[in-house]
Structure 1
Amino acid sequence: MSEFSAWKKLYQPQRPSPQQRLFHPLLEQHALALWIKRDDQLHPRISGNKWRKLKYILRQALSEQASGVLSFGGAYSNHLHALAAAGHELSLPTLGIVRGEPHSRHNPTLGDARRWGMALEFVDRQQYRRRQEPAWLNELARRYPGFLIVPEGGSCPQALPGVAELWQELSQEVDEVILPVASGGTLAGLLSARPATTRVRGYAVLKGTSWLAEEVCRLYPAAGQDPGWQLELDHHGGGYARCPVADQATIAELAEQLGIPLEPIYSGKAMLGLFRDIEAGLYPAGSRLLFLHTGGLQGARGAL
């Protein structure tokens, strides 16, 4: 099977992820309709928004006959996990620059990545902060000639079209789409094809996010003149991959009540923020809401 045949098998024909109505006493109390788009079920290994964001990045790597794909992430990175799985299916070499110590290679996330053939290079936090500096990127390009270098989280302009295709899959019109936001790529991708009648609201899952709106606009410049979106910055739970014990318990309770799997890093934290804002009366009665489950359930395996 050629590389492009494998890519087409992975992505075409696209089978939409399930969409289901959620029920909860708080929704009934506030006269809200809430659906969930189960992107966590898109693929057994390439989960959620990573499947969408990688779609055209991988096609670019294959079309350019790249030596491989290099990217960045933490020790429990959903992005590196998904990239390694995709590389394995496409026979495309992958390399992860990992923030953390080499002993992390034995955790479940990086263990999977290594089994799928991803080479790992560990750097300390100070070095990792340079991941967007041209000098270090040029150095990596010299060390790994022919590799396509992809930003952390897969958030780059090539990722946006794959995310934007989600709009074609919705089974009914909604007033607002809600999603967790970390690196901003999924939010930017949704905005790039946002219907005029639907707003988009992102719940930031990390603190210190004054830069996040700027990053969304960098990825999709037209977002700067688009009034149909906003970021909620007060539900990060203490920072990325942090979640108070009480919040973890509430997320687990919500998951049981709603009948869906949630983790306390991305979708669980955003769902908790959504329900707190519903209780506070942020969403007008009669609103039709859609929550995007961005996957990443594997990253909760010991990450907290």
Structure 2
Amino acid sequence: MKLTNTPVTEHQFDDIAFFLKRDDQMHPQFSGNKARKFMALLDHDDPKITTLIGYGSPQANSLYSMAALASLKGWQLEFYVDHIPTWLKSNPIGNYRAALELGADIIAVSESGLHPHEYIHTIRKPNEDSLFVPEGGRCGLAEAGVKQLAQELIDWITQQTNSQSNLNFVVALPSGTGTTALYLNKYLAPLGIEVLTCACVGGSDYLRHQFAELNEPNLPTILELEYKHHFGKLYSQDFIIWQQILNETNIEFDLLYDPMMWQCLQSWKINNPDKQILYVHQGGLLGNESMLPRYQRKYSPQ
């Protein structure tokens, strides 16, 4: 199976013209940021492998992407989590629901007193018939898929500029672990294409620490908000931005990551009016299945 070279479309949001790399359209089940990071595993051809092992949150985008990958490859996914909330077990929704439907085995380990990562390596102990993937795909295996994404972006930009200057294109995307932004920067920065990102999960220092673990010398540009933005917390401005983008572009974005990035870009654009944004859609829309009702309960008019 090969993933399609996703299209680039043109849009406008809050008077900001931008282009959008539609990685949400790669494959019905396997798309977006995680598909890029796990792409190398599609070509993994070791007949001994029967099991894919990962860990994270029961609503993580990586859970669904790994479940889809395992389904496509004929593997069993074992995904370890700290705990599964009772309400989620009773009413499966979002990435958790979709992963279960694809046959994922989601295993809570809180009673062991161990972190899922520690549990996997001390109790589960992956062997030669299993593949272990770090949380969110933050590892070297992600580079191949992100390199392909970088080449697609380079090819598109070259077409737009007729091999002349890069028309001040910048590539923008939000970051969790920052793996995609870091590897994109590795291949785009030498061509004079700046990569912009923001730290959605734990702040800029956390993101730099994640970058450091992958041993790349050059880093993307990290944009910041004027206020502390806590991962997973409901902010009225996030909801407003998300709704506004949906209304103005007719494209759905992820509620957890993209609103923060777009707020950063609104401020950044004021000081960079001549720069042209090429935004990479991260997929992750199944997460909205659980996030949107939370926002609607808190902020929508009764």
TM-score by length of 1: 0.81
- Who is 2:225 aligned against? 234
Which amino acid in 2 is paired with 1:295?
G
2: CA distance, partners of 1:93 / 1:296: 22
* Corresponding residue for residue 176 of structure 1: 170
Provide the residue aligned with 1:21 in structure 2.
10
> 2: distance between equivalents of 1:291 and 1:68?
34
1:66 maps to 2:49: yes
Any idea what SS the aligned residue of 2:213 has? helix
TM-score, length-normalised on structure 2?
0.82
> 1:85 aligns to what SS in structure 2?
helix
Percent of pairs identical after alignment?
Answer: 23
1:273–1:25 CA distance, 2 compared to 1 (3 A) = closer
Counterpart AA for 2:129: G
Report which stretch shifted further, 85-94 or 267-276: 267-276
Q: Quick one: structure 1 residues 208 and 124, their matched pair in 2 at CA, closer, same or farther if it must change by over 3 Å?
A: farther
Shift of 1:47: 2.3
Query: CA offset at residue 24 of structure 1?
Result: 3.9
Question: What does residue range 82-101 of structure 1 map to in structure 2 within 5 Å?
Answer: 82-101=65-84
> Is the 8 Å Cα contact of residues 26 and 32 (structure 2) preserved in structure 1?
yes
Q: Could you say what secondary structure the match of 2:56 adopts?
A: strand
1:191, distance to aligned residue in structure 2 (A): 2.3
Q: Secondary structure at the match of 2:141?
A: helix
Q: 1:49: how far off?
A: 1.1
Aligned residues of 2:4 and 2:27 also touching (Cα < 8 A): no
Q: Secondary structure at the match of 1:23?
A: strand
In structure 1, the partner of 2:97 is 111
Tell whether the 8 Å contact from 1:266 to 1:296 is kept in structure 2 after alignment.
no
Does the aligned pair in 1 maintain the 2:178–2:207 contact within 8 Å? yes
Q: How many Å apart are 1:166 and its aligned residue?
A: 1.1
Does the CA-based 8 Å contact 1:200-1:230 persist in structure 2?
yes
Residue 247 of structure 1: how far off its partner (Å): 2.4
Aligned residues: 277
User: Is 1:291 aligned to 2:275, yes or no?
Assistant: no
5+ residue gaps, structure 2, are 158-165, 295-302
181-190 or 229-238, which deviates more: 229-238
Q: Identify if the C-alpha distance between structure 1 residues 19 and 91 changes in structure 2 by more than 3 Å, giving closer, same or farther.
A: same
Is 2:120–2:126's contact at 8 Å kept on the other side of the alignment?
Answer: no
Instruction: Could you tell me which runs of 5 or more consecutive residues in structure 1 were left unpaired when the two chains were aligned.
Output: 1-8, 28-32
Task: Say if 1:77 and 1:128 are closer, same or farther in 2 by CA, change over 3 A.
Answer: farther
Q: Does 2:209 correspond to 1:218?
A: no
Q: Which runs of 4+ in 1 moved over 6 A?
A: none
Q: CA RMSD in A?
A: 2.6
Cα–Cα, structure 1 residues 259 and 145, in superposed 2: closer, same or farther, change >3 Å? Answer: same
Contact 2:254/2:282 (8 A) holds in 1: no
Q: 2:61, 2:148 → 1: CA distance?
A: 21
Amino acid at match of 2:182: A
Say which of 242, 248, 256 aligns to 1:257. Answer: 248
> Partners in 2 of 1:258 and 1:235 — Cα distance?
26
Take 2:78 and 2:65, find their aligned partners in 1: how far apart are those partners? 12
Residue equivalent to 1:6: none
Aligned equivalents of 1:209, 1:126: Cα separation in 2? 32
**Contact 1:263-1:269 at 8 Å conserved across structures:** no
